Amino acid sequence: MNDVVRPVMQDAVAAAPTRVDGRDKVTGRARYAVEHPVEDVVWAWPVTSTVAKGRVTEIDASEANGTEGVIAVLTHANAPRLGETDDAELQLLQSDRVAYRGQVCALVVGETVESARAGADAVRVRYDEAEHDVVLDARHPAMFTPEKVNPGFPTDTSIGDPDTAFAVAAVQLDATYTTPTEHNHAMEPHATTASWGADGTLTLYDSNQGSTGVARVMADLFGLQVRAVHVISEHVGGGFGSKGTPRPNIVLAAMAAQAVGRPVRLALGRQHMFSLVGYRTPTIQRLRLGATTDGVLRSLVHDVWEQTSTLDDFAEQTAVISRMLYAAPARRTTHRLVRLDVPTPSWMRAPGEAPGSFALESAMDELAAACDLDPVELRVRNEPDVDPESGKPFSSRNLVACLREGARRFGWEQRDPTPGVRRDGRWLVGTGVASSTYPARTAPSQARMSIGSDGVVTVELNAVDIGTGSRTALTQIAAEAMDLPTDRVRLRIGDSTLPPAMIAGGSMGLTSWGSAIVKGARQLRELVGRRDGAIPEDGLEVTADTAEEVRAVSGYARHAFGAQFCEVRVDADTGEVRVPRLLGVFAVGRVINARTARSQLVGGMTMGLSMALHEEGVVDVQHGDNVNHDLAGYHIAAHADVADVDAMWLEEHDEHLNLVGAKGIGEIGIVGTAAAVANAVHHATGVRVRDLPIRVDRLLGRG
């Protein structure tokens, strides 16, 4: 099962190919959603509600219509009617109902973005305001059990009698942890350019994580055949899950273009992204761990409370990580949900695993202290032989190897386990550890591959590069599979007219797309071989579909694993926290491109650092909104916060994954990082912070 051969050394990065689209990006030739040249284009800007619940009683657009450059003002009274979809958040301007503060209640179209914004400022909206409820509380009387948790896991699971096992356990830990609302903020905001053709077709340049599904949803909304909707996502400036499904920008742009008869651009502003593009739900998590005196778990209970909106139900799979990470003969996990007058939460990098790991890995650290055990050793002692709940064998599982190698590289053996004893002048110094994991999934995808008489191979599939380096890695995969240099490969992605493929999400984009390319390459090489290498003037072409291959590996529990090590320095007087060192060691199957892989892992760890110390949507109970709904008040890690962040991986061969042999790496880097920071802060200060972020007032006992 453990197939570690050796660590891949850091100098492997130098040998990795640079990004094939790097020059286009640094010279500005790469075009994003609102940068494509379109004639006669105009701009749109939304008007959003200033109440959290109620009805729109009047919209006075007279001043807006008189503003220079304003072309139209769309409201629920005059906007195009939309068809039904499963996403109620996309039923924009279809009624007078207000379900949350920041909801779109009008849209202004202007000749320029400035005139559209000026017109939006001039729109006057009056409401019949109702009493709202925006505070998550585990004791909320309307808390209910959702049918499932994202993406389709059982809501609750139970094995054995965890309550009795906990009651008789020699060592008991019962603690509650919380994480706040967290928001997605990609460099490129959610943006769209929409244009209707004279034949009724709809062309959309859109920033998304997969345009195949976007085209289907837009076709349903506007009563079109899917083939009449063309979605182009040539370059996408980040997504983190928030662009995995269509968002209001694309629907509003298409509506506006239909209404005014001209192409329309709409790029959401930063403040819009706090209400219109999904967010990570706040969580309340109770962990009960029962163990023997030597640290072996006998009982594990993980209960989670979360919020959703009154429009749609979305339940993040926060406790799912506790179903597979450690062995415990008796266990239970539960999820409960309450509908509040807030926007609908959605995907944010490592949904479920990111907040769930903070609670679980913090609790494991507390258990290690209670058992007087080293935190690394405690985790090793609770390593399962098979998936604890499904009983399936792991396709590969190298968590212990990551912990051991990370401890060696980090210098863990020098650690004095006593909290609050290491000091460097005014700074208290501590170290912490946490485990990481993320499912290693692959989804069915298709790829069309052709070879011309010049020997150049063209690969076409509707993958998307959201800044992760997918173009580069897919070019490498195709070149290797065809036994050609990379300059003999042409790659086309980011277009809904191409063969359908998995979105760039769930850490399964590259594994899914790469598998389709490998299968297509095998078919193409076989076809060329049958012709003794002779290629006709018009070339040869095949189309591969990996649905059968995906079904064939369902008998295994497939996960990536890792270990995060952190050093913190805490100012003894002010409580200021600095993180001079982060190390992540991962087991992620085959790494396709060391350069881009390290970038993804370091990026995830940096985002986890930001989660630990900064990110927090602060609820304004009176107005029903986040009081800090901009990047001046919603803090994220800046350059000064990110010092030595290093990621490396173990060589791992896993034949039960996919045709590429890889595990996704986009999300595992964020899993466990916040807990490692919190555990290090406890080691430095003796203060256990169970509520993120780790603010100064919480460290000083005032928050």
Catalytic residues: 667
SS3 of 186-251: CCCCCEEEEEECCCCCEEEEECCCCHHHHHHHHHHHCCCCHHHEEEECCCCCCCCCCCCCCCHHHH
Q: What are phi and psi of 541, to 5 degrees?
A: -145, 145
User: CA 515, 520, 526, 528 torsion: positive or negative?
Assistant: negative
Question: What are the E-state strand segments in 14-88?
Answer: 42-48, 54-60, 70-74
Pairing of strands 330-340, 423-424: unpaired
Task: Name the burial class of residue 27, with classes exposed (0-12), middle (13-18) and buried (19+) by CB atoms within 10 angstroms of its CB.
Answer: exposed
Residue-wise burial string across 194-217, b where 16 or more C-beta atoms lie within 10 A, e elsewhere: bbbeeeeebbbbbbbbbbbbbbbb
Radius of gyration of the chain (CA): 26
CA angle 371, 404, 362 (to 5 degrees): 45
Task: Give bridge partners of residue 24 from the DSSP assignment.
Answer: none
Grouping H, G, I as helix, E, B as strand and the rest as coil, residue 634 is coil
Residue in this structure with the two tokens 């490396």, named with its chain if needed:
648
SS3 of 565-623: EEEEEEECCCCCEEEEEEEEEEECECCCCHHHHHHHHHHHHHHHHHHHHCCCECEECCC
- How many residues does the structure list for the chain? 703
- Amino acid type, 264: V
For 493-558, give the DSSP string: -SBTTSPP---S-TT-HHHHHHHHHHHHHHHHHHHHHHTTT---TT-EEEEEE-HHHHHHTTTSB-
Residue 141: count other Cβ atoms within 10 Å of its Cβ.
Answer: 6
Distance, in Å, from the CA atom of 202 to the CA atom of 263, rounded to the nearest integer, reads 10
Distance, in Å, from the CA atom of 180 to the CA atom of 4, rounded to the nearest integer, reads 37
Q: Which of 305, 24, 351 is nearest to 144 (CA)?
A: 305
Q: Which of 101, 112, 121 is nearest to 44 (CA)?
A: 112
684 touches 568 (CB < 8 A): yes
179 touches 355 (CB < 8 A): yes
Q: Which of 231, 229, 247 is nearest to 239 (CA)?
A: 247
